[in-house]
Amino acid sequence: MDGGQTTESFYNAPVNKLLSLGEPRGNEWRDYAALNLSFENIPDLIRMATDDQLNDAPQAGPLVWAPVHAWRALGQLHAAEAIAPLLSLFHRIEEFQDDWVQSDVPKALGQIGAAAIEPAAHYLADASHDEWARIAAAETLGKIATAHPDLRAACVGKLAAQLEKFSEQSETLNAFLVSPLWDLRAVEVMPLIERAYSAGRVDESVLGDVEDAQIHFGLKPKREQMPKPNQLTTFREQFSGLEEQLHALKQENAESPSFVDDLSFGPAPKPYLAPPKIGRNEPCPCGSGKKYKKCCGARRF
């Protein structure tokens, strides 16, 4: 960017509209075609999605959200030329704790579809990338299959091919290879999943143990053995203990409605839907001693 040029003037209409949209609301993506964005705007959208000055802009302003809108627009445009630039953003997950890249870019790539399968699988297989970047690539394959059911077999095949290397990979990576297969209900690769679990090569705090998988895939109606303790079961036990204490306090103070109301927790929280403001590299609030991203923040990005 030239020294006398502002960020706003660096992008022409209609792409410059994205600079003022601010933080996206909820999980619904807006219709970017309604902003008159079209195929001829793809080069500028790629430039905006990968613009370091925008990605690192102050969180309080609207500019930092422009790349999010840009990569969402690229997804809706099925812009195959954006695949490599979008994959290049995955390094930001580990290096900058960029949760928006982690949660959103796989969805954008998923919308692009078939052209993204091989690049995502290649990225996933490359051990030189950070682990969480590779996990995002695995998630991308799952999102492609979800958005394009006709591509399910191809995506499942790529995920299974990587899981075949379970003995050479971390338990965390293996768990997040199982995760999209779990979401896709890919029962056809259950023998491989069972082998990975049997070898002790899957982090059971992410999805549970092999019996949980068998039940999820409809291969077993219920558990036959008690689950081994892990971060998920420990969290549930701690929460259950708190609920029992709360119930006892309510019983003791039943004649004081205001006291009971003050103690109401509301709906029980789900262990892996963690508060969005916790940094991925910060200590997990459950007290496990692990980083948040490898504990209660691990299941869903």
CA 76 to chain centroid, in Å, comes to 19
**What is the band of 225 on the pLDDT scale with cuts at 50, 70, 90?**
confident
The residue whose two tokens read 């705007």 is 41
Q: How many CB atoms lie within 10 A of CB 250?
A: 15
Q: Reduce the DSSP state of residue 63 to 3 states and report it.
A: helix
pLDDT over 90 at 210, yes or no: yes
Q: How many CB atoms lie within 10 A of CB 32?
A: 23
pLDDT over 80 at 238, yes or no: no
Q: Determine contact, residues 21/65, Cβ cutoff 8 Å.
A: yes
d(CA 15, CA 37): 7
Q: Determine contact, residues 271/288, Cβ cutoff 8 Å.
A: no
d(CA 109, CA 76): 9
Q: Give the chain's length.
A: 301
Alpha-carbon Rg for the chain, nearest whole angstrom, is 22
- pLDDT reported for residue 226: 82
Q: Determine contact, residues 202/166, Cβ cutoff 8 Å.
A: yes
Per residue in 82-103, pLDDT (tens digit) is 999 999 999 999 999 999 999 9
The residue whose two tokens read 């949209």 is 21
d(CA 113, CA 14): 25
Per residue in 110-154, pLDDT (tens digit) is 999 999 999 999 999 999 999 999 999 999 999 999 999 999 999
pLDDT over 60 at 169, yes or no: yes
CA 165 to chain centroid, in Å, comes to 22
Segment 238-246 mean pLDDT: 70
- pLDDT reported for residue 25: 86
Higher pLDDT, 243 or 231: 243
Weakest-pLDDT range from 5-9, 202-206, 274-278: 274-278
Which alpha helices (DSSP H) does the chain contain, by range? 7-10, 42-49, 52-55, 66-76, 83-87, 91-96, 99-112, 117-125, 131-147, 152-163, 171-183, 190-198, 204-207, 210-216, 231-252, 257-263
d(CA 50, CA 55): 7
Q: Determine contact, residues 262/284, Cβ cutoff 8 Å.
A: no
d(CA 178, CA 116): 20
- pLDDT reported for residue 26: 78
- pLDDT reported for residue 45: 98
**What is the band of 251 on the pLDDT scale with cuts at 50, 70, 90?**
confident
**Which amino acid is it at 83?**
I
